[in-house]
Structure 1
């Protein structure tokens, strides 16, 4: 008996060592989010400012473009999830999309920041089509990132390691665009923001394509997806039925992205018009790097607190930081402190749901007998990002439009107040609502061990 147990331990140790992924494969997977954030964060952070102050369309037209794009996003995330669940290739199920979509992704974001010589109405149509196209392709990239994780390794510890590296890889992509996009626009444009944006985004696009190609070549899917049974569209939707942990997490993630995008898309307005220092936006965006601190300590926080409590802490810190900024006035030091506190909170709030979604996939299988990981992760991640990021820009555009905002002009006291509200109090409200909703998840988390045991028994 002892000999058999010893052999089993040796076998498990060998399997564990075999499952240890090389640094190249870890970096390759991390580069997917670096590429995604490099372009998509450029799109979400600067597109509203680009449309109003560079491209030359009204704030009302910009708001309408963002609204229509969100309606489209309500459809494309589930579709991408179903497509991935039905993909069967020699390269795997999710990984091929990093090859197939790399060039279309880079090209679509690049053309979204071009300024063709068109009439005002034609410009609006051009902006609408290119923005929607870039968003649809990014959804495919984002959905394939999330659905690939279970197929890269069977080892749960390695999955945590991969997700942590991916999150930090995404932070690097965001840091590059947040810190260097505007300085590069000024450097290349030399006063011509149209030229500056096109060259800067073109450089980012080339880098993103190369990173995605590296991700494709440097990773391997271990699941035999060519022989796996396909899940029907009806079964995919059935995985959502009664899956309240998933529904709760989706709502929380949407409110996170509403708050994060509202502050990211208006920081340039607040810096330029309220504080009279446009370059402060790059400094504040660069400080988002402190998210890497909270991402790094996240595993320790989850051990100290349960996941739902940790997520509530993250969203509460984000709201607190925005409140500090709201009371800071023109005190740059207090603004930086508030921004740093909020960034520590958003680092937790943006990372944890990626790991928690796998638990909701287990819940869907336990309750409905359907394991639709591609569909649930595509909707749970990509849909939330797209809907929250889109509305997070659309809502401020409505508020600024109603307050009489005029691009490249001296703002009225009313429009300045609207800019401050959108940058400070609106994100705080969204973060706080997300934290409140998260309390509902606690009772589901307490049953996770029982659910896993029953699934194993089945």
Structure 2
């Protein structure tokens, strides 16, 4: 039975949730490494190793959280309750992660490991059910494109706000003490995110119900291992996240040590995020005329060329840096709603093929891949910095500067090229999904 069309209120309400998540994610991906090295006081190698280890550990908790969410039964549904009860502990852990205790080097490292591990685990306990929610709000392909476009427009907007506002909040709230500034800044973002998650909870509802309840967790995992579209989307999310994290994390070092204009970061990253939001908003229109698979391949190829071009930008060509950054935002903006819409398609494919639907476990692919991709990217950055002799808060050697430039250009370009090649093998095109949706509707009727 076809449900009534989604209202604009629900589309916007769902999308706002990702703004709340970016109050954490953008702070982590853009500022956490430089916070650890330049404020918290641990070495780049120790910080990169810690981020890598925690991300790897957390990546393997995601399937467990997805399985638990699939089996949650409440009067609010499977996934919405997590938006109601988990944001408060998430806010507390965000503050603790950006707190600098008066401890020795070993004590600080232990503090960083524990707080960051708990932060990312609890973050996933909200984010993964939120992502899975997009697969059960509606079964209509166009509506899925719309809610995911809304999600990432709001997400990019949230990221833009964070990159523009966080450095100013640190300075203002800290009064010259960056350690205190970061702690109070995360209090602000934690409260703001908590309020937004409440809006998302109250404006959405779960409509798509499985034909039968999930089987065992082992069966869910076996279904995913044999689900070729899911495997390709997992690898796609992993590769794209490596590319994006390399550029986002390296940007702070690039403007501080190569361009010698660290204040430009407050507009450079928001310029990308604003352009990405515009690209995201265009996704439903583009997907109406171009098959999602072909669209993704084209976007990844364009991103490859634009990212590689950054290698040839001189440190004085500020306008060209911004032009390429904005073009990259437009090209990469649609990839997130497309990827999440495809994950919902993979969940439908799984149910169509074997009669079992595990939406939370399916969407765990994205969270798993994001964390694994971030871990790989941070590991690459840490290894390059260590090999080239990076010294915090000091003039960098020519080799160190060259390494930072490569992290902003050629290395991420290689990963987007890999993503384009990968999508050649994706099979759930528009005609196939129309047939699957028709079969599923007939079964449920």
Query: Is 1:180 equivalent to 2:165 in the alignment?
Result: yes
TM superposition shift of 1:442: 4.9
Query: Is 1:287 equivalent to 2:271 in the alignment?
Result: yes
TM superposition shift of 1:187: 2.9
Query: Is 1:366 equivalent to 2:366 in the alignment?
Result: no
TM superposition shift of 1:214: 2.2
Aligned equivalents of 1:228, 1:169: Cα separation in 2? 34
SS of the equivalent of 1:334 reads helix
Picking from 131, 137, 152, the partner of 2:116 is 131
Query: Is 1:339 equivalent to 2:329 in the alignment?
Result: no
Aligned equivalents of 1:451, 1:155: Cα separation in 2? 12
SS of the equivalent of 1:20 reads coil
Q: Which residue of 2 aligns with 1:429?
A: 414
TM superposition shift of 1:19: 3.8
Aligned equivalents of 1:352, 1:366: Cα separation in 2? 21
TM superposition shift of 1:173: 1.2
TM superposition shift of 1:432: 1.4
Q: Which residue of 2 aligns with 1:167?
A: 152
Matches within 5 A, 1:439-450: 439-442=424-427, 447-450=432-435
Aligned equivalents of 1:371, 1:91: Cα separation in 2? 19
TM superposition shift of 1:22: 5.3
Aligned equivalents of 1:282, 1:216: Cα separation in 2? 31
Tell whether the 8 Å contact from 2:135 to 2:144 is kept in structure 1 after alignment: yes
TM superposition shift of 1:155: 5.0
SS of the equivalent of 1:229 reads coil
Q: Which residue of 1 aligns with 2:35?
A: 50
Deviates more, 1:426-435 or 1:257-266: 426-435
Structure 1, residues 41-80: CA drift from partner, whole Å, max 9, x if none?
2112111111111111011111211121122123111011
Query: Is 1:100 equivalent to 2:79 in the alignment?
Result: no
Picking from 234, 254, 262, the partner of 2:218 is 234
Query: Is 1:248 equivalent to 2:248 in the alignment?
Result: no
TM superposition shift of 1:457: 5.6
Aligned equivalents of 1:393, 1:383: Cα separation in 2? 15
Tell whether the 8 Å contact from 1:245 to 1:444 is kept in structure 2 after alignment: no
Tell whether the 8 Å contact from 1:92 to 1:224 is kept in structure 2 after alignment: no
TM superposition shift of 1:128: 0.9
SS of the equivalent of 1:94 reads coil
Q: Which residue of 2 aligns with 1:376?
A: 362
Structure 1, residues 313-360: CA drift from partner, whole Å, max 9, x if none?
222222222222211121111111111111112202222101111221
Tell whether the 8 Å contact from 2:268 to 2:322 is kept in structure 1 after alignment: yes
Q: Which residue of 1 aligns with 2:341?
A: 355
SS of the equivalent of 2:396 reads coil
Deviates more, 1:116-125 or 1:185-194: 185-194
Matches within 5 A, 1:272-421: 272-288=256-272, 289-330=274-315, 331-379=317-365, 381-421=366-406
Aligned equivalents of 1:301, 1:216: Cα separation in 2? 29
Structure 2: state its 5+ residue gaps: none
Q: How many residues matched?
A: 441
TM superposition shift of 1:154: 5.2
What TM-score results when the alignment is normalised by the length of structure 1? 0.91
Aligned equivalents of 2:209, 2:417: Cα separation in 1? 43
Tell whether the 8 Å contact from 1:320 to 1:338 is kept in structure 2 after alignment: no
Structure 1: state its 5+ residue gaps: 1-11
TM superposition shift of 1:153: 4.0
TM superposition shift of 1:207: 0.4
What TM-score results when the alignment is normalised by the length of structure 2? 0.93
Aligned equivalents of 1:309, 1:267: Cα separation in 2? 30
Aligned equivalents of 1:162, 1:348: Cα separation in 2? 13
- For the pair shown, the structure with the greater C-alpha radius of gyration is 1
Q: Which residue of 2 aligns with 1:271?
A: 255
Tell whether the 8 Å contact from 1:33 to 1:169 is kept in structure 2 after alignment: yes
TM superposition shift of 1:404: 0.5
What is the aligned-residue RMSD (CA, Å)? 2.2
TM superposition shift of 1:156: 4.7
| CA 306–224 in structure 1, closer or farther in 2 if over 3 Å, else same | closer
Matches within 5 A, 1:56-205: 56-153=41-138, 155-205=140-190
Aligned equivalents of 2:108, 2:276: Cα separation in 1? 37
